[in-house]
Structure 1
Amino acid sequence: MNAVELFLLGRTLMKIGEAALPTEGIGKHTTSVRTVMIVAGDARQNPGSAVGEIAARTGLPQSAVSASVARLRTAGAVVTEPDPADRRRMLVNPAPSVSDRVEEVRAASVDSVLATALDTDDPERVAALVATLEALAAELTPQAIARVRATD
């Protein structure tokens, strides 16, 4: 596999993941699912961060991070509070408890979307691919990205 193939595989997996996420009742948003997921992951890994800090770490525009934080706050995934050192800044933290919406998203199965992507109705084939993806996810954690970026 070369870098282009890996990149395209990653994009395909991202799109399959987006298709598997439940969207009922959340309406239209200007922020992409990808952007929201990146911000949610950063907020979990770096609790107590300001929006500007999240933007710097993720490389996303501050406006996109702010919109994502607002969307995550509405979903109950994060809470915000003023920074005691600078009340103009908002600190972002994972929510202390999991909201119904976050629970729904986390529980969403990818099986049916993978079956459609594979053009199969064979549950064993889908289960084998899910097991492969789980093994890959266990190896390529978010810390893997930090290690790659550290070598740049």
Structure 2
Amino acid sequence: MNGVDLFLLGRALMKIGEDALPEPPGGSGKYAGSARMVLVVASDIAEHPESAVGEIATRTGLPQSQVSTAIARLKEAGTVFTTPDPADRRRALVSQAPGTSDRLAQVRATGIEDALATALGTDDPARVAEVAQALERLARSLLPDRGL
């Protein structure tokens, strides 16, 4: 594998991830790019409460500006709240608001199997499971802070 192949693989994996997300409310097709980023940030915050913006950016691989924008949208919606970091009052720690959003829970619980089967062009559950397990191993290696 070379850098180009790895880049193309990353793009293919992003498409599978997008296809695996449940449709937005109202059946309007796919999430817009900014809405996907908000979902990624909200999911990370649910998994890692009391995180600073920089920590969320590091875990998600998103630019800090996108994380800040997503947090602002989530805060406006009442989905998250911030508190001052007791160790450094200049930083804010972000946590999920009480009462997990049903939508976020649905998004986090949605598996990749159907999207993966479509991408692989097979309905063989053994083949889909094999590739899903390989992706889980890859994620554990490359995303160690994600708790996978």
**Distance in 2 (alpha carbons) for counterparts of 1:101 and 1:32:** 13
Q: Deviations 1:24-72 (Å, cap 9, x if unpaired)?
A: 31776561524652675478558342x5x4698566263x333311444
Q: TM-score scaled by structure 2?
A: 0.66
Residues 95, 48 of structure 1: alpha-carbon distance in 2 compared, 3 angstrom cutoff: same
Shift of 1:139: 2.0
Q: Which consecutive aligned stretches of 4+ in structure 1 deviate over 3 angstroms post-superposition?
A: 26-30, 38-46, 53-59, 70-76, 82-86, 94-98
**Distance in 1 (alpha carbons) for counterparts of 2:95 and 2:117:** 36
Residues 56, 138 of structure 1: alpha-carbon distance in 2 compared, 3 angstrom cutoff: closer
Equivalent residue, structure 2, for 1:14: 14
Equivalent residue, structure 2, for 1:103: 105
- Aligned CA-pair RMSD: 3.6
Q: TM-score scaled by structure 1?
A: 0.65
Aligned length: 137
Equivalent residue, structure 2, for 1:147: none
Give the unaligned 5+ runs of structure 1.
145-152
Equivalent residue, structure 1, for 2:136: 134
Equivalent residue, structure 1, for 2:84: 83
- Of structures 1 and 2, the one scoring higher in RCO (CA 8 A, sep 6+) is 2
Shift of 1:21: 0.7
| 3-state secondary structure, aligned to 1:31 | helix
**Distance in 2 (alpha carbons) for counterparts of 1:113 and 1:59:** 23
Shift of 1:81: 2.7
Shift of 1:96: 5.5
Give the unaligned 5+ runs of structure 2.
none
Question: Which runs of structure 2 are paired with 1:3-152 in the superposition (5 Å)?
Answer: 3-25=3-25, 31=34, 33-34=36-37, 36-37=39-40, 40-41=43-44, 47-49=50-52, 51=53, 53=54, 60=63, 62=65, 64-73=66-75, 74=77, 76=79, 79-81=80-82, 83=84, 85=89, 91-95=93-97, 98-143=100-145
Contact between 2:83 and 2:93, CA under 8 Å: does it hold in 1?
yes
